[in-house]
Structure 1
């Protein structure tokens, strides 16, 4: 399995705006509609990546916990569905329902949103504050498939706790590692 690191978009970057098809509600949804009042987590994921499958339950648990605190969560798949049909929108709908995603699961057919965010892998996580300025990017935690470290979500949780406490995140931010986005 490929081990692609995420690109580390500069902190303070403003979240690129988008409007994408939501495979759960079957409606086009925008960042402005979905952003949280306190912060917004944007996750580039897909259905088949072993790295995403490894952390799916934690992503759901963290979203369920923090959405009640004013944090918005948005999942985006930018994979080429023609060459990777398991990541097609109809399969995304099934995957979101089976995993009980408490967040929209958007399809980036043109891959323009992934390029705007400089996303490189799945999972690739971004945390934006209430003003949609980047405060965290990188890994969920140190766990990877097969490395024996339990999935905790510690890095993402810390980033969100810092925003809610109005504190700077001074912990080192590590790139995520995962499957590369399947570019056209």
Structure 2
């Protein structure tokens, strides 16, 4: 496990488009699915990572809390499923069902979407506004598997609430920390390891 931080994509970046299969339904999900939302949360997760396991109940709660709101949510896994079978689509489907996730979980087999978002770790969070401009990228909260702090989702939730209320998101944004995305051989992007 390589401890990796977010690359901190520049604020104001327009959300890159994607067309990815959803692991439960098989439907293809794209940015257009969220065009009518005031805010969009894009998160890069996986199943095997201890950092994601540590917060998975909070991720499920986010989906429940914002199910009928103006926030769109999508989770994407881009890990190399050949070398990490726990992160293969069938396993991700089982995770989504077990956790009762209320948002699409998609698999980025080519890893091109992860690269477009400069995703570096699992979990990695990106919040976009109504114009699909990036307003937040960083951590869920201060909790880590080994530090004993409660998982509250405070940082991410504060950013979401600000966008939904039409307010500015705080400039103070801490990088997310987690396992590095498991790139396929020869596929690691140039920004990887920068953070």
Contact 1:11/1:135 (<8 A) preserved:
yes
**Gapped runs of 5+ residues in structure 1?**
none
CA-CA distance at 1:35 after TM superposition: 4.9
**Gapped runs of 5+ residues in structure 2?**
185-195
Q: Cα deviations across residues 64-107 of structure 1 (Å, max 9, x unaligned)?
A: 11232210100000000011111111111111101111111100
Which residue does 2:26 correspond to in 1?
26
Which residue does 1:64 correspond to in 2?
64
CA-CA distance at 1:59 after TM superposition: 1.1
Inter-partner Cα distance in structure 2 for 1:113 and 1:139: 20
Pair 1:176 & 2:170 matched:
no
The two structures have a TM-score, normalised by structure 1, of 0.97
Which residue does 2:117 correspond to in 1?
117
Q: Cα deviations across residues 28-51 of structure 1 (Å, max 9, x unaligned)?
A: 111211455110000000000000
Inter-partner Cα distance in structure 1 for 2:157 and 2:42: 14
Paired residue total: 184
**C-alpha spacing 1:27/1:58, structure 2 compared with 1 (3 Å):** same
Which residue does 1:11 correspond to in 2?
11
Contact 1:22/1:104 (<8 A) preserved:
yes
Contact 1:128/1:135 (<8 A) preserved:
yes
Contact 1:36/1:71 (<8 A) preserved:
no
CA-CA distance at 1:53 after TM superposition: 0.5
Matches within 5 A, 1:53-132: 53-132=53-132
CA-CA distance at 1:63 after TM superposition: 2.1
CA-CA distance at 1:164 after TM superposition: 1.6
Contact 1:126/1:136 (<8 A) preserved:
yes
Alignment RMSD, CA only? Answer: 1.1
Q: Cα deviations across residues 160-180 of structure 1 (Å, max 9, x unaligned)?
A: 111122111125100000000
Pair 1:139 & 2:124 matched:
no
